[in-house]
């Protein structure tokens, strides 16, 4: 039996959409299966109040199409989710993508049929399809997690996970709302909800170091400049470590005087976006001493902004330095705690004991609520893989292969799983990136490899065990000097709400996008060294 398709892509977010477009250009028969009812991935699912970019909008959109760049206008420097979802739909219309996407279809299993050399894919409702190539575009932050707390599910009021937010408007007015979590999503949601809420209770386990976003509308003059300088902007992104317009300052933190350092931090704190994280002194994320200087600066900022001195101390992280976990960007987050109708519950002092029908019981007492919001994040990077039963040669499960941490070649292929490509997968630079910039690199590279195989009549590609081992060593080497590898976070594979994810394993790539691109290009230039074709 010949396969139904040449390529099956799972997921129709920014990765899957672009991958579909590129493969169609090769004249391949492609089918995309998407669990949601529309395109956009992250921007389809995360409709919670306050959801918006931390990337500058005009650096985030696709760069490959002059037409899309010319026609699309971002209204703000950091667009809110509805606008980004409109953008994804605009691209889908422009490229006529939907005719090859099956929506409302969650893939449950993908099994490699070795004799046929095909992937056999099964959806949750039993639908099946086959293809020579399988490309996962399932997202680094797409598998939401609920907290492991007794009584979850018993609450009788309104309850929402931020990544499964309803499509209808939700009102907070006059209501007692509780938010569990204080990560990047929670920081955005709390700030927005606080504007209209009756009473807000924030349940905080681990505070994060948050920095100002400084969003603003894009005026006509700036719009024209953005459009005229897209090529320069994308070139600048290509050269920076994380493909942002921000890149590290060439100086070390302790090389300059205390006054100069303070002035520099102030300047970064006043500027929009991730400059304070990605554009700081070049050693603040690798040297404890350098990191202590920015951490102290950020500590002072929190103390200045939160009026109640005891509350300010609760909001100051004590278990990690600035920038060693994902930095939430905020627009008035700390000032929320100056409102009389907002209460912070420090779960380190009074842990949650259970969720009840009427609210949350902590060791300090009962918190009656009308609405409970789980801002408890994602089973990051490998989570979406774990939710599909992926089996390669000889029935080997990907989940088992990755039980002690992911193993890949270039973060794009896995030994034992021929013709499977993992866009934005573990150990891929895209996990630590202004992601669409890395998505375009991932997709272009995979597309070129598939074209290469067609030209030479190859039907099968798989990395060698040696290439995979070498990549693993390189990935761990890139992480060794980074301070974030000494801290529990999703980047280190930790999720206390997921069984088996309590031990640190490095799941991202910390060598920077330019280095990663160089490595991928070297492999291709050497005739795909490290891969075996059949």
Ligand X SMILES: Cc1cc2nc3c(=O)[nH]c(=O)nc-3n(C[C@H](O)[C@H](O)[C@H](O)COP(=O)(O)OP(=O)(O)OC[C@H]3O[C@@H](n4cnc5c(N)ncnc54)[C@H](O)[C@@H]3O)c2cc1C
Q: Please give the residue ranges that form the binding site for ligand X (CB under 6 A).
A: 10-16, 33-36, 41-42, 44, 46, 51, 53-55, 60, 106-107, 137-142, 185, 384, 387-388, 424, 434-435
CB nearer to ligand X: pick between 283 and 330: 330
What is the 3-state secondary structure of 161-175? EHHHCCCCCCCCCCC
In angstroms, what is the minimal distance from the CB of 222 to ligand X?
19
CB nearer to ligand X: pick between 61 and 359: 61
C-alpha to C-alpha distance for 400 and 158, rounded to whole angstroms? 38
In angstroms, what is the minimal distance from the CB of 23 to ligand X?
15
CB nearer to ligand X: pick between 88 and 342: 88
326, with CB counted inside 10 A (0-12, 13-18, 19+), is buried
CB nearer to ligand X: pick between 143 and 306: 143
DSSP, res 105: -
In angstroms, what is the minimal distance from the CB of 93 to ligand X?
17
* SS3 assignment, position 482: coil
CB nearer to ligand X: pick between 49 and 317: 49
What is the enclosing helix (H) or strand (E) of 199? strand 199-204
In angstroms, what is the minimal distance from the CB of 32 to ligand X?
9
**Closest CA relative to residue 443, chosen from 133, 207, 203, 50:** 133
CB nearer to ligand X: pick between 149 and 423: 423
Instruction: Check if the beta carbon of residue 43 is closer than 8 Å to that of residue 165.
Output: no
In angstroms, what is the minimal distance from the CB of 109 to ligand X?
9
CB nearer to ligand X: pick between 16 and 359: 16
Sign, CA dihedral 71-75-81-82, equals negative
C-alpha to C-alpha distance for 303 and 322, rounded to whole angstroms? 15
CB nearer to ligand X: pick between 42 and 362: 42
C-alpha separations of 493 from 422, 423, 469 in Å: 17, 18, 19
In angstroms, what is the minimal distance from the CB of 47 to ligand X?
10
Secondary-structure percent of the chain, ordered helix, strand, coil, rounded to 5: 35, 20, 45
* SS3 assignment, position 290: helix
CB nearer to ligand X: pick between 106 and 476: 106
In angstroms, what is the minimal distance from the CB of 435 to ligand X?
3
In angstroms, what is the minimal distance from the CB of 85 to ligand X?
11
Q: What are phi and psi of 109, to 5 degrees?
A: -150, 150
In angstroms, what is the minimal distance from the CB of 434 to ligand X?
5
**Closest CA relative to residue 47, chosen from 154, 191, 153, 189:** 189
In angstroms, what is the minimal distance from the CB of 393 to ligand X?
21
Instruction: Check if the beta carbon of residue 461 is closer than 8 Å to that of residue 449.
Output: yes
Residue labelled with tokens 């590290």: 248
C-alpha to C-alpha distance for 285 and 327, rounded to whole angstroms? 12
In angstroms, what is the minimal distance from the CB of 162 to ligand X?
8
CB nearer to ligand X: pick between 244 and 528: 244
182-186 long-range CB contacts below 8 Å, 24 or more apart? 182/206, 182/207, 182/208, 182/375, 183/208, 183/326, 183/328, 183/375, 183/377, 184/54, 184/208, 184/326, 184/327, 184/328, 184/329, 185/46, 185/48, 185/51, 185/375, 185/377, 186/162, 186/328, 186/375
**Closest CA relative to residue 492, chosen from 381, 332, 387, 411:** 381
C-alpha to C-alpha distance for 41 and 36, rounded to whole angstroms? 8
In angstroms, what is the minimal distance from the CB of 430 to ligand X?
7
CB nearer to ligand X: pick between 41 and 406: 41
In angstroms, what is the minimal distance from the CB of 59 to ligand X?
9
CB nearer to ligand X: pick between 290 and 446: 446
What is the enclosing helix (H) or strand (E) of 453? helix 435-456
CB nearer to ligand X: pick between 208 and 434: 434
């Amino acid at each position: 039996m010949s396969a139904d398709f040449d390529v099956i892509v799972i997921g129709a977010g920014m990765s899957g959409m672009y991958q579909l477009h590129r493969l169609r250009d090769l004249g391949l028969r492609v089918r995309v299966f998407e669990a949601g009812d529309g395109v956009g991935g992250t921007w389809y699912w995360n409709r919670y109040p306050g959801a918006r970019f931390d990337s500058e909008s005009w650096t985030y959109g696709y760069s490959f199409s002059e037409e899309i760049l010319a026609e699309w206008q971002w209204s703000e420097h950091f667009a809110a989710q509805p606008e980004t979802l409109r953008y994804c739909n605009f691209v889908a219309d422009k490229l006529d993508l939907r005719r090859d996407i099956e929506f409302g279809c969650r893939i449950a299993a993908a099994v490699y049929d070795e004799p046929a050399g095909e992937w056999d894919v099964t959806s949750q409702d039993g639908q099946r399809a086959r293809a020579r190539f399988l490309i996962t575009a399932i997202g680094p932050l797409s598998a939401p997690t609920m907290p492991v707390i007794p009584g979850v599910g018993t609450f009788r009021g309104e309850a929402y996970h931020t990544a499964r937010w309803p499509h209808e408007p939700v009102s907070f007015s006059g209501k007692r709302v509780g938010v569990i979590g204080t990560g990047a999503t929670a920081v955005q949601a709390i700030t927005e909800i606080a504007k209209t809420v009756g009473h807000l209770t924030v349940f905080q386990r681990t505070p994060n170091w948050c920095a100002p976003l400084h969003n603003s509308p894009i005026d006509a003059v700036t719009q024209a400049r953005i459009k005229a300088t897209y090529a320069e902007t994308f070139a600048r992104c290509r050269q920076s470590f994380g493909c942002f317009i921000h890149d590290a300052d060439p100086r070390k933190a302790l090389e300059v005087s205390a006054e100069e350092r303070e002035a520099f931090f102030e300047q970064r704190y006043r500027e929009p976006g991730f400059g304070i994280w990605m554009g700081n002194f070049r050693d603040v994320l690798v040297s404890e001493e350098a990191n202590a200087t920015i951490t102290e600066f950020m500590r002072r900022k929190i103390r200045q902004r939160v009026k109640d001195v005891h509350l300010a101390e609760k909001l100051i992280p004590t278990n990690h330095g600035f920038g060693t976990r994902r930095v939430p960007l905020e627009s008035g987050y700390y000032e929320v705690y100056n409102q009389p109708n907002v209460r912070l519950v420090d779960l380190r002092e009074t842990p949650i004991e259970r969720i009840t029908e009427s609210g949350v019981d902590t060791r300090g007492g009962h918190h009656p609520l009308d609405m409970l919001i789980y801002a408890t994040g994602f089973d990051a990077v490998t989570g979406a893989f774990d939710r599909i039963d992926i089996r390669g040669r000889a029935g080997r499960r990907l989940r088992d292969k990755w039980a002690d941490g992911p193993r890949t070649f270039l973060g794009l292929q896995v030994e034992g799983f021929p013709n499977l490509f993992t866009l934005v997968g573990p150990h891929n630079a895209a996990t630590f990136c202004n992601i669409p910039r890395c998505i375009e690199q991932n997709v272009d590279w995979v597309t070129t490899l598939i074209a290469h195989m067609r030209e030479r009549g190859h039907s099968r590609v798989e990395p060698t065990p040696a290439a995979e081992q070498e990549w693993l060593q390189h990935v761990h080497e890139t992480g060794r000097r980074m301070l974030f590898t000494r801290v529990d976070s999703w980047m280190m594979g930790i999720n206390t709400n997921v069984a088996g994810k309590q031990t640190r394993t490095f799941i991202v790539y910390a060598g920077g996008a330019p280095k990663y691109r160089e490595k991928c290009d070297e492999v291709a230039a050497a005739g795909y060294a490290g891969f075996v074709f059949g």
